[in-house]
Structure 1
Amino acid sequence: MPPPQTTGIYPSDSITEVAQSLPLDPLGAGSADLLAGDVEYRLHLIIQEAKKFMVNGKRGTLMPEDVEYAMDALNVEPILIPPRPLPLPQFQALTIPSSSSHPQQIYHLPDDEIDFATYLKQPLPAGVANSSGVKWKAHWLAVEGVQPAIKENPNPTQRGASRPQPSSTSLRPQARTQLPQELQLYFTRLTTALVPPSPTGPETEPERHRLAALTSLRTDVAVAGILVYVVKWLGESIQKCLMAPTGTIGQLVDAVEALVGNEGVFLEPYVHILLPPLMSIILTVPLGPHPSSSSSNQPSPYDLRLHASQVLGKVAEKYGRSYPGLVPRLISTLSKSLNSPPFPSPLGASNPPSGRYEGSLLALSCLGKQAVKSTVWGKAGENISRIDDLAGRLYTDGGGKKRNPLIRALIKCLSVIINPKPVDITPQANLDDVSEAFGPNLANMLNKKLWTASEILRLRREELEGEGEGGGVDGMEVDQA
């Protein structure tokens, strides 16, 4: 059956040329026509939305700003507006040798080369030159990803005396023209209650309002009317509050979890906005205020990363089938972070930060058994020894459950791939064997988790025996040949 013929003004040849310029498989029959129709539909959608801004501006000419606003309203990444009026390009001819008697010429725009040293030697603008004490001075913002401790760079421990606050709870003027008054009030009340301005107790009025807002975010279908604005507010607020008190970050993660659990909203188009904030909480070091708060009602960075990892696991479980590349991309990112070398502490601590390794392990444990086996366990548990050695270098003050959260996160990962502990069996395991096979730090923290110790030894032994049997069969086949 021939492919359906589509009619439109967007040529399918453009789709074919773009596909050939990218490392993609060849397009099938009719694919270019279908993609051209889809591109034309989206162009129509953007232009129709841009005409609304043109009419609202009481103009009869469509401006580039209208297209930018339309793309922002449709959650499409906007492009930069070129300066107007555009300069007239000066094309230069380039002759191409040809076997024919008439040489061919192509025209191109030469790139302007700017010498940085010459640019700095030029006189300053009049407004700057007449002011006192203004001059050029160079300094390093970062060296190998670490900020040098010089007076020109702000001290991370004193970076901003005010407490980081979430994004504004008031809608932008652009959104006010599109939403009715009721939904605007709903958005303001909802976002204000989700993150109270001051720490709250379990029985206080702000805490009751927060729980009511979480319930509304988890169950109300009316959230669909302001979904795009709530998602953007959550993403911006988390990025701003990574150095805020850990209680504030935990409240924002609670809001993301409630939104993911709402079955009455269509969240799939906005998953790409929620994933970067969650990954930032999992992998960012340092996380929370520094110096850290000693308040007992504030969660620890480990608990925050665990909570964010659990929410990430729910997102992967809910949308992993709709987007087959979602889980592999998450695993690839977490694996690169887990295998990256340590870097010096940006706060000047003696030991490198370990938060990103803990977050990677916690997130992998929430992505399923296969993710843990492929990245954390490896071949016969060979990756465990490397993580154990890393924990020994990052925590030089000894073992202990609270002193070595990296091993604690590793044990949580291992609990995913082992069998559950039976009720009527007393586990037996030799911790010396665990120390020899995987490392002394893991063995020290498994002294009260003998079932986990016995199971990882069993898994390692079975894989080694399976490799030995496989090698024997291969050798016999070679001899017979």
Structure 2
Amino acid sequence: MNNSSSSIVAKEAIEVIAQSIGITNLSPDVSISLAPDVEYRLREIIQEAIKCMRHSRRTALTAHDVDTALNLRNVEPIYGFGSGGGDKVPLRFKRAAAAGHKDLYYIDDKDVNFKHVIEAPLPNAPLDASLTSHWLAIEGVQPAIPENPPIEAPSDAKKSDCKDDGLSVDVKLPVKDILSRELQLYFEKVTELTVRRSESALFKQALVSLATDSGLHPLVPYFTQFIADEVTRNLNNFSLLFAVMLIARSLLQNPNIHLEPYSLLLLFGTAVSYFL
């Protein structure tokens, strides 16, 4: 591994690189031994970069390909060199033959006039950082605003039908509310206690829960319909009407439930406050 004749990397290049990172006492034998290994690593990176170039269906190797190859090898990328593209001018290397170094290359930079730099207009100032707020959901319902993702109706909520004249029309089926299994059991248990066991201690505990629980808002329309149905069917059953009034009063006392959309329950609550 110590014959430098088979390596394209000269030991002088190894010494220059060592001096650039602060190693000044590198012996010539070590430089000669390192040259073939450096060449092997260079070939390895170039081969990986060529694979990236071919994968991108290009025929010209770019600095981005080399950076990608270094990243694949878990090596820090090279800084300060770009591949151009777009409005950028591609890098062009020239041989410094005029200075007597035929194997030395440099980047052909464009001359910049300081007067043009000074007189150039200033770029636009960046925008100040700002914060904004919006409602993700109001009472469990997502508002239709640009900040929120669009609400897509389920595919089976719309079907196509035909009129007598043969024209197709879209019929949108009503969207059903989806209640959790726990809320369904809760509603069924409370309604059963109201109808059949309104004198039990468990019914009194249910009234306390209706007046304090913060997660009952999805059940408000169901309780409203239940109260309306029971009042309509049982006008002569005063014990059941009294139990239904207690249910309505408990819902009205719950500070976590907003009953503005349910005018029927509010009207019934007025009657409850009058009779109770």
TM-score, scaled relative to structure 2: 0.37
Larger radius of gyration between Structure 1 and Structure 2: 2
Please identify which structure carries the higher helix content: 1
TM-score, scaled relative to structure 1: 0.23
